[in-house]
Copies of this chain bind each other. A is one copy, B any other.
């Protein structure tokens, strides 16, 4: 079980329900996932993180699917089980195909490998790479 209880809509105070409503409206769905239901134990954090997520994950110079793929890459690298499952589901909902998932995981694996090679040899940064 989580280290703070899961707060269901029925038991939630108004400020929490307001965030849950925004989540369901933006996502065009009728449920809220556990991440938000646990953050709800601390309503100011719930509001802050949701507002951050809306701003950061909105379409911009990068499209929402690309952002999800980057998010998954970070989550895998941090070995975050919850985030790997939840953002893979989110990416699926935004159009990630099986082929895209496989290429994503392959890139993440490759990057972790060459990060280690670079750190292992302590390779100096080429002058041309420094702005």
Residues in chain A within 8 A of chain B (CB atoms): 1-5, 31, 33-35, 38-39, 41-42, 44-45, 48-49, 52-53, 55-57, 60-62, 66-67, 69-89, 97-126, 128-131
Contact = CB atoms under 8 A, between A and B. Distances in A.
Contacts of A98: 4, 41
Contacts of A82: 118-119, 123-125
A104 B122 CA distance: 14
A83 B111 contact: yes
A115 B100 CA distance: 19
Contacts of A56: 48, 103, 106-107, 109-110
B2 A106 contact: no
B121 A4 contact: yes
A103 B60 contact: yes
Contact of A80 (B41, B61, B74, B79): B79
- Sorted from nearest, which 5 A-B pairs have the closest CB atoms? A113-B113, A61-B99, A42-B102, A74-B111, A105-B120
